[in-house]
Structures are given as structure tokens and as C-alpha cells.
Structure 1
Amino acid sequence: MCLAAVIEDVNEQPHRERSFYEYPKLYDFFHSRVLDRTKQVSLLEHFEPDNANRVLELGCGTGPLLARIEDEYDEVLGVDSDESMLAVAREKVTTADLKRADFTDWCATDHGRTFDTAVLMGGLLHLTRDEDLQALAVNTYDSLREGGAFGTFFQPFTEDVANGNRTVEAVESERYTVKRHATTALTSPEGHYTTTYLFTLRDKNRASEAKIGTVFNGRFHDPDKLADVFRSAGFDDVEVTTGDAPTTLRAVK
């Protein structure tokens, strides 16, 4: 569904409860402009061990990272639970494999495969339950060969996390503009939060506009506790790096 069709759909049923993720083209349009995909490629290269040629991306979404790296490795696989996201990814990739699965309940070795590197590019915020985080660590450990590495980046839960934080971001193309207002409020001492979004979409060619309100429930993660989860899963070397860049976790089997 292109953005013009999204605008039409919203205006036909303006009061229906919606998720941002039910519109993969909107998701792809917005995130392709606010996220630095080149930086993600650099992070992958930082995470991977020497001589890596098999890469697994968990939560691959619409496949932008896969499309950038598929010609650089012998084997590239993207896993995501959302079929509509994977449908957009199939339009982008040529040689990368795609698998529909919940990455907290999926292991490569169950399918006779292992990887040198596994990455989760920002998806930790979706793992709000401790048991899902533990399952991710165990299944990722089992999906890697000895010496293989897992890497991710995340928003750490620290005293600096502001309750009631508000942001506004806007992106555009020659035809469309999308503006997103976001308000985030903490909902638990363990870092759970709720973000309320208001998206305003405008089609300049048709002079049409729509507004979409959605709610996302996520979690900021305590860096030390997160590292302990991966150590408990069997990883020998777990390192959390903080600084001006995104906080990252790298775990080596």
C-alpha cells in the first residue's frame, strides 16, 4: 500500500485503532530517512568476527540492511515475524534469504544452519518481557558457530532517561511529507514505557492529508542486566559500549 493509499485508507476509517507497523510502506518511507543505514553497516562490520561470511539479521523489517550487504557475504538471512514487512523486503533483495519467524522462538540450528554474525538493529525495545530477552540470547547463541558474534544497539535505561520526553521529526520526498510527534512516558521501574505517536501524512500532488495516532509499548534496558542475560546464555565475552554513539552490546560465543 503506497502512501497515497495509506492516506485514503485512514480518511475512509479515521477512528479505527491502528498500528504503525500495519503500513510497511509508511514504515519504510519514514525510517529510511530518519535512520542512518550507513552507520548500521559500520556497526555490523564492528560486531562481526574475522573472516565472517554468513550474516543473520533478526527483526529485518523491510530489508534495508539486507539489501546493502547481500553482495558482500556468502550467506545473508533476514528473519522477521511480520509478513507484510517481508513482502516489502522481497522487493529490495536479490540474493538474501528471508524467513518469517519470531526471532525469540527461532534458532538457525533447528534448520541445519549456523552463522558467523547475528545482529538486531534496534529491535531490543520490542522485548518487554524478561523471558523473551532470555530466549533471544539462548537462540542467538545456538545460531552462531564457535567464535561467532552477536551485536545490537539500544537505548539504555539510566537516570538520564526523561519521563514525558517529546520529539518531533519530519521527512519528505518530492511528493510526500510525513511528520511524527512522539511523547514517551515511563510506566515501570524496570524501564517499560509507552510512546504515543501522531503521524501527519501529506500528498502534495493530490493536496490530501491524513493523521494517524498509534501507541507503542516498549522497554529501555539496563546495560548491566542485559549483559548478564547474554552471559547466562553461554556467551564468553560480552561487552557493552556507551558514549556519544548508540549504546552497543557485542557478545562472542
Structure 2
Amino acid sequence: MPLDAVIEDLEKAPHRPRSFYEYPALYDFYHSRVLDRDAQVGLLRRYEPADTARVLEFGCGTGPLLTRIEDEYETVLGVDVNEAMLAVAKDRVTTAEVREADFTAWSAADDDLEFDVAVLLGGMLHLTDDRDVAALAQNACESIRDGGAFVTFFQPFSDDVENGSRDVQTAASDRYSVERHSTSALTSAAGHYTTTYQFVIRDEAEDREVTMGTVFEGRFHDPDALRETFADAGFSQVEIHDGDGPTTLHAVK
């Protein structure tokens, strides 16, 4: 469904409950302009073991990482639970493999596979339950060889997290613009939060404008708790790196 079809769908049924993730075209348009995809590749490069040939991406979405790296490794596999996103990824990749799987319920070992490195780029905020975090840690450990690595980034929970924060971000092309308004509120002492989004989507060529509201339930994570969870899952080395970029978890089996 291209972006003009997203606009048409919103015009036909403006009050139907929606998720941002049901529209891969909207997801791609927005994230390709507000996220640094090259930096995500750089994160993989920074923490991959020497002579890495096999790469696994948990939560691959529409495949932006897969398409950037698939020609540089012997094996590249992306898994995701969202069928609409995977359909786009399958059309984009050439040598990489894409399959439907929930990384809190599946590991590469389930299919007798083993990787040198596994990554999760941006998916930690979806893991609101401690049991899902533990399942990810276990499945990541089972998916890689001894000496292999897992890397992800996350938003740490601290006293500096602002309750009731507001933000506006805009992504635009020659024809379209997407303006995202967000308001977030903490809902638990463990870092859970709710973000209400309003997307304003404009088609300048057709002089059309629609809005879409959606609610996201996410979580900030405690670095010490993550370190303990991944160590309990079997990783021999777990490091948290908090520098100029996102806070990164790097675990070695």
C-alpha cells in the first residue's frame, strides 16, 4: 500500500483504531527520514566478532538493514512477527532470507541454525514485560555460536526521564509530508509509558490532508536489570555503553 493509498484508507474510515505498524509505506517514509540507517549498520560493524559471516536480525521490519548488508555476509536472516512489514522486506531483499517469527518465542536453534552475531535495532521499547526481555535474552544466546555477540540499543530509565513530554517531528519529500505529534506519560515506577501519537499526512500534489491517531505502550529499561537478565541467559560478558549516541547493550556468549 503506497502512501497515497494510506491517505485514501484514512479518508474512508477515519475513526477506525489503527497502529502505525499496519502501514509499511508510512513507517518507511517516516523512519527513512528521521532515523540514521547508516549508524545502525555502523553499530553492527562495531560489535560484530572478527570474521563474521552469519548475521541474524530480530525485528527486521521492512528490511532496511538487510538490504544494506546482505551482499557483505555469507548468510543474512531477518525475522519479524508483522506480516505486512515482512511482505515489503521480502520484495526488497535479494540474497537475504526473511521469515515470520516472534523473537520472544523463537531462536535460531529451533531450526538448527547458528549465527556469529544477532542484532535488535529499536525493538527493546516494545518489550514491556520482564518475561519477554528474559525470553529475548535466552533466544539471542541460543541463536549465536560461542564467542558470538548480540547487540541492541534502548532508552534507559532514570530520574531524568520527563513525565508528560511532548515532541513534534516532520519528515518530508517533494510531494508528501508527515508531521508526528507525540505526548508521553510514565505509567509505572518500572519505566512503562504510554505515548499518544497524531500523524498529519499531507499530499501537496493532490492538496489532501489526513490525520491518524494511535497509542503506543512502551518501556524504558533499567541498565542494571538488563545486564543481569542477559548474564542469567548465558552470556559471559555483558556491557552497557552510554555515549553520544543511543545507550547500547553488547553481550558476548
Which TM bucket (shorter chain)?
over 0.9
What is the identity, as a one-letter code, of the residue corresponding to 2:77? L
Counterparts in 2 of 1:1-253, with a 5 A limit?
1-253=1-253
Distance 1:205 1:90 in 2: 30
Structure 2, unaligned runs of 5 or more = none
Distance 1:80 1:110 in 2: 15
2:66 alignment partner, SS class: helix
Distance 1:99 1:46 in 2: 26
1:205 alignment partner, SS class: coil
Distance 2:49 2:165 in 1: 37
Cα deviation per residue 1:186-241 (whole Å; 9 max; x = unaligned)? 00000000000000001111111100000000000000101100000010000001
Distance 1:58 1:8 in 2: 32
**1:134, distance to aligned residue in structure 2 (A):** 0.4
**1:175, distance to aligned residue in structure 2 (A):** 1.2
State the aligned residue count. Answer: 253
Q: TM-score scaled to structure 1, two decimals?
A: 0.99
Q: TM-score scaled to structure 2, two decimals?
A: 0.99
**1:91, distance to aligned residue in structure 2 (A):** 2.2
**1:243, distance to aligned residue in structure 2 (A):** 2.1
What is the identity, as a one-letter code, of the residue corresponding to 1:167? D
Distance 2:67 2:118 in 1: 16
Distance 2:151 2:20 in 1: 26
